Structure 1
Amino acid sequence: MADYLARLEEEMRRPPLHGWLRPQAIRADGSEVEVRLPFRPEFAGGTDPVFIHGGIVAALCDLTAHAAAACAAGTPVPTVTLGVDYLRAAPGVDLRAVGILRKLGRTLARVDVEIFAGDRLVALSRNTFAIPEERP
């Protein structure tokens, strides 16, 4: 049986960008992952009131979706498409991302992501990843 949480933790450490963002692995199974992004002042896109820059939200969508696909495929997978719908401004609080694997095919994986600030849904994302021909 695969250790999905260990794989998710590895995905949160590996890319150099994650060293700056500092996402935290919360939970993972074969079809869903959860990631927490603690708020830091440098994430602000506005200061009166404080809200998180949309680029930070998009990065969280991409890294969460990638983690869900990589955990299921057992290997890193390159992003093919990333689409983000911003539903409301994300206030300056910790964000929680849930990545839901919708399909793991032979050549592509599809993942949806929900981004929450507290209990409020602030963004949705639909993502596609290429599955390498050779995988473990």
Structure 2
Amino acid sequence: MQTSETGKTAELWNERLRHELAHPPFHAIFKPEAVGVDPSSGAIRIRVPYQEHFSASVENPFVHGGVVATLIDISAHAAVAVQTGRTSPTIDLRIDFLRPVPAAEIYATARPLRIGRTVARVDVEVTNAEGTVFAAGRGTFSTSGN
């Protein structure tokens, strides 16, 4: 059972995650949705509903790799920003595309490995609702506040 302090932390972090996803104008087009935050690990989960213009081509019923890369960057950044309370520019982003992503809603789970005074590192998995992993990414972000 959660203590009231843990519950308040979870509520605060979920509020921060919703803010991070609603704030940038680009997100009005991409439409990421907060699924939840785990305050004990700092992990966050985001859902992106499928949009027809996410397709790799008219004949190809798969999500374009750029959409997957964007989801990895947005979710990793959000995992850092939820904890630091401010924006954290991307320094480096690495993505492994493991299999084609079908034309359906996709999820990202971002797990911070380290959030330091100047740099943060986050691992991300992109999945479907059932948990099939389509891509894995790692982002490095500036936390120096400059």
Larger Rg: 2
Q: In the alignment, does 2:59 pair up with 1:62?
A: no
Q: In the alignment, does 2:27 pair up with 1:18?
A: yes
Sequence identity percentage? 35
* Structure 1 residue 61, shift from structure 2 partner: 0.2
Unpaired segments of 5 or more residues in structure 1?
A: none
The aligned residue for residue 117 of structure 2 is 106
Q: Secondary structure at the match of 1:51?
A: coil
Selected match of 1:9 from 4, 7, 18:
18
* 1:93 and 1:118 in contact (8 A); partners too: no
The aligned residue for residue 132 of structure 1 is 144
Report the TM-score when normalising by structure 1: 0.93
The aligned residue for residue 43 of structure 1 is 54
Selected match of 2:91 from 80, 84, 91:
80
* Structure 1 residue 93, shift from structure 2 partner: 0.6
**Which deviates more from structure 2 when the two are superposed, residues 67-76 or residues 51-60?**
67-76
Report the TM-score when normalising by structure 2: 0.87
- Count of residue pairs brought into register by the alignment: 134
